[in-house]
Amino acid sequence: MTDSPLDNPSIARETGQARLPTRWGTFRIHGFEADNGGEHVALVMGDPAAADAPLVRVHSECLTGDALFSQRCDCGPQLEAAMKRIGETGEGIIVYLRQEGRGIGLLNKIRAYGLQDEEGADTVEANEALGFAADGRDYGVAASMLGSLGVSRVRLMTNNPAKVDGLEATGVRVVERLSLLAGRNHHNHAYLETKAAKFGHHLDAPDGGTDEA
Ligand SMILES: Nc1nc2c(ncn2[C@@H]2O[C@H](COP(=O)(O)OP(=O)(O)OP(=O)(O)O)[C@@H](O)[C@H]2O)c(=O)[nH]1
Ligand SMILES: [Zn+2]
């Protein structure tokens, strides 16, 4: 397997912060620089460090879905739903990781999309045909960012069991998993089915997986 072109450093240092008004309320945006120079951000609302286990979304960058309104995936609506939920709660964090294309980068993701279009590959087969692992993400940098923000226990908005395990492996305690079902449409049906079949995403389950010790 080819190593991911996006190295996955595990330490991120805060570089600055500012006010970020959004449709769902005003966050503070914190900039972080990782060991390899990667740039990530966290959107913080309220005082999550004072909470026992605040609402957190660890979102992997998807330029096409988050910014360009693509319906190939569910990323944009998931990000909106997470920001809305935090806005309604008044407290929480969006950790926005620049791990585009499950870690293979934007240009390789577009090549993978091409293989899906032309050869009928699913997302996993396309990654593997390009010489990458099915999912090359690492959550160490998210743990480092949460640590800087004073958070070590979270209620995580995700359908992805590997994200829960990945965060737990880096020392973040996921006390509850909250489903984040949004943005299903006829273009992303196969993509979502592949996530459920090959990665075990919980796509029809309600909130669950609380493993409070
Ligand atoms: N390599 C590759 N990456 C993709 C593809 N479609 C979406 N992505 C990336 O997948 C990432 C989102 O991961 P997903 O597996 O959809 O969802 P998740 O974040 O693991 O799970 P949730 O927390 O439930 O949203 C983003 O970085 C997207 O850019 C694809 O076809 N190929
Ligand atoms: Zn996406």
pLDDT(43) > 70: yes
DSSP characters over 23-86:
TTEEEEEEEEEETTS-EEEEEEES-GGGSSS-EEEEEE--IIIIIS--SSSSHHHHHHHHHHHH
Is the pLDDT reported for residue 6 higher than 70? no
Residue 10 assigned ligand-binding role: no
* Residue 200 annotated in ligand binding: no
In the reported structure, the alpha carbon of residue 6 is separated from the centroid of ligand 2 by a whole-number distance in angstroms of 17
The more confident residue out of 75 and 182 is 75
For the residues 193-201, what does the mean pLDDT come to?
82
Q: Which domain holds residue 45?
A: 12-199
Mutate-to-test residue for ligand 1 from 58, 60, 66, 135, highest number of ligand atoms within 8 A of CB = 60
pLDDT above 70: percentage of residues in the chain? 92
Q: What is the pLDDT of residues 85-133, one digit of tens each?
A: 999 999 999 999 999 999 999 999 999 999 999 988 999 999 999 999 9
> Is position 125 annotated in a ligand binding site?
no
Q: Does 150 reside within a domain?
A: yes
**Is position 4 annotated in a ligand binding site?**
no
Name the pLDDT band for 213 (thresholds 50, 70, 90): very low
Contact between 94 and 43 under an 8 Å Cβ cutoff? The reply is: yes
Catalytic residues: 135, 137
Q: Residues with beta carbon < 5 A to ion ligand 2?
A: 62, 65, 73, 75
Contact (CB, 8 A) for 48 and 54: yes
- In-domain check, residue 22: yes
What integer is the mean pLDDT of 31-59? 96
The total number of structural domains in the chain stands at 1
Predicted pLDDT of residue 205: 61
Residue 204, in any domain of the structure: no
- Residue bearing the CA closest to ligand 1, atom 20: 160
Banded pLDDT at 208 (limits 50, 70, 90): low
Q: Give pLDDT tens digits for 167-193.
A: 999 999 999 999 998 888 899 888 788
Looking at the CA of 98, name the nearest ligand: 1
ipTM over 0.95: yes
Instruction: Flag whether pLDDT at 2 surpasses 80.
Output: no
Segment 35-55 mean pLDDT: 96
pLDDT number for residue 108: 96
Residue 205 lies in a domain: no
Q: Does a structural domain hold residue 160? A: yes
Q: Cα(23) to centroid of ligand 1, in Å? A: 24
Kindly state the tokens that stand for 126: 């396309």
Mutation pick for ligand 1 pocket among 8, 66, 73 (CB with most ligand atoms within 8 Å): 73
Strand 25-34 versus strand 39-45 pairing type: antiparallel
Identify the nearest ligand to the CA of 113 by its number.
Answer: 1
Task: Give the rounded percent of residues in the chain with a pLDDT score beyond 90.
Answer: 75
Q: What's the token pair of residue 67?
A: 């910014």
Q: What is the pLDDT of residue 9?
A: 55
CA 60 to ligand 1: nearest atom:
27
Assess if residue 105 is contained within a domain.
yes
Residue 1 within a domain: no
* Whether residue 212 has pLDDT greater than 70: no
Q: CATH number of the domain at 195, please.
A: 3.40.50.10990
Q: Which residues contact 40 (CB under 8 A, 6 or more apart)?
A: 12, 31, 32, 34, 95, 96, 97, 98, 141, 145
Q: Domain for residue 210, yes or no?
A: no
Mean pLDDT of 194-209: 74
